[in-house]
Amino acid sequence: MEIIQTPNYDVMSQRACDLLIETVQQSERPVLGLATGSTPEGLYKQLIEQYESGKVTFKQATTFNLDEYVGLTADDPNSYRYYMDNKLFHHIDLPDDRAFLPKGDASNPEQECRTYETMIQNAGQVDLQVLGLGLNGHIGFNEPGTPFDSRTHVVELDETTRQANARFFASIDDVPTRAITMGINTIMESKKIVLLVSGEKKADAVKQLVNGEVTEEFPASILQKHENVVLIGDEEALSKL
Ligand code: GLP
């Protein structure tokens, strides 16, 4: 695992932006895996700036997001589809019909998982997958205990995860209890993974991810086994390494 320490959040976002643009420029039909949460917001702002200044085009790209809440529609401000539309997709030239997230309002979420997984497989390998890190070691919404060989599936969210994400909702009761997420195996099949971590609150999780035992009880630990992972973090997040 390559570890890049940056002086602050903005430089972390810039380094991730450089990697993503490099991937888009190197491939004729780049396939990107994208994440939500607070951490990649700076990356998306920088990508929009680079697009606006003519340095990159996403016309040939396809994107697959990691996850989506079950029960939220695309126009719900708390859905990840809404987040991606507003923080990235509507500001760049990525074709609408190649920007994929699991459908949170699918009438049959289990079927939606199978459909989504098949779409990822049909697109070929993900060239670059962006990941954030949950405080309990989750990646996407793969909570502790998720089998390493899992593919896209429906998860019951941990109470700690619901609480961590409650800041975006009116109250904790409004936070969905289930989500659809790419599985660990789906994520591990990406050619390259860039994991972004920022802030002191992630320091313990980063330590466990890098130095801890590889165990399903801490899903992100599996990244130790991937041959092409770049961990980019600011000083606070990497302070316990
Ligand atoms: C959320 C998302 C993850 C994200 C993580 C960290 O629950 N499902 O994909 O990486 O939590 O979020 P943040 O970047 O806001 O700390």
CATH (domain of 214): 3.40.50.1360
166 domain-assigned: yes
Question: Which pLDDT tens digit goes with each residue over 111-169?
Answer: 999 999 999 999 999 999 999 999 999 999 999 999 999 999 999 999 999 999 999 99
Question: 150 CA to middle of ligand 1, Å?
Answer: 19
Question: 39 CA to middle of ligand 1, Å?
Answer: 7
CA dihedral 119, 74, 99, 190 (to 10 degrees): -60
- Which residues make beta-bridge pairs with 2? 230
Encoded tokens for 134: 């949950």
Hunting for tokens 């991810």 — which residue is that? Answer: 209
Pocket lined around ligand 1, Cβ cut-off 6 Å = 35-39, 66-67, 132-134, 140-141, 161, 165
Question: 186 CA to middle of ligand 1, Å?
Answer: 17
150 domain-assigned: yes
Question: Which pLDDT tens digit goes with each residue over 36-70?
Answer: 999 999 999 999 999 999 999 999 999 999 999 99
Mutation probe of ligand 1 site: the residue of 9, 12, 36 with most atoms within 8 A of C-beta = 36
Hunting for tokens 């998982």 — which residue is that? Answer: 113
Which residue, judged by its Cα, is nearest atom 12 of ligand 1?
Answer: 37
Residue 161 CA: which ligand 1 atom is closest?
A: 7
Say how far apart CA 59 and CA 192 lie, in whole Å: 21
87 domain-assigned: yes
Question: 22 CA to middle of ligand 1, Å?
Answer: 24
Residue 7, C-beta contacts closer than 8 angstroms, at least 6 positions apart: 234, 235
Say how far apart CA 160 and CA 166 lie, in whole Å: 10
Question: 8 CA to middle of ligand 1, Å?
Answer: 19
List the domain range (segments joined by +) for residue 23. Answer: 2-234
240 domain-assigned: no
Residue 131 CA: which ligand 1 atom is closest?
A: 10
241 domain-assigned: no
With 0.95 as the threshold, say if the pTM is over it: yes
63 domain-assigned: yes
Residue 188, C-beta contacts closer than 8 angstroms, at least 6 positions apart: 148, 222, 225, 226
Q: What band does 212 get if pLDDT is binned at 50, 70 and 90?
A: very high
DSSP 130: E
The residues annotated with a catalytic role in the active site are 67, 136, 138, 143
* Structural contact between residues 12 and 240, judged by C-beta atoms closer than 8 angstroms: no
Q: Distance of CA 88 to CAs 16, 58, 76, 83, 211, Å?
A: 15, 11, 16, 8, 34
Which residue, judged by its Cα, is nearest atom 3 of ligand 1?
Answer: 140
Name the domain count of the chain: 1
79 domain-assigned: yes
239 domain-assigned: no
Residue 76, C-beta contacts closer than 8 angstroms, at least 6 positions apart: 82, 104
Give residue 18's pLDDT: 98
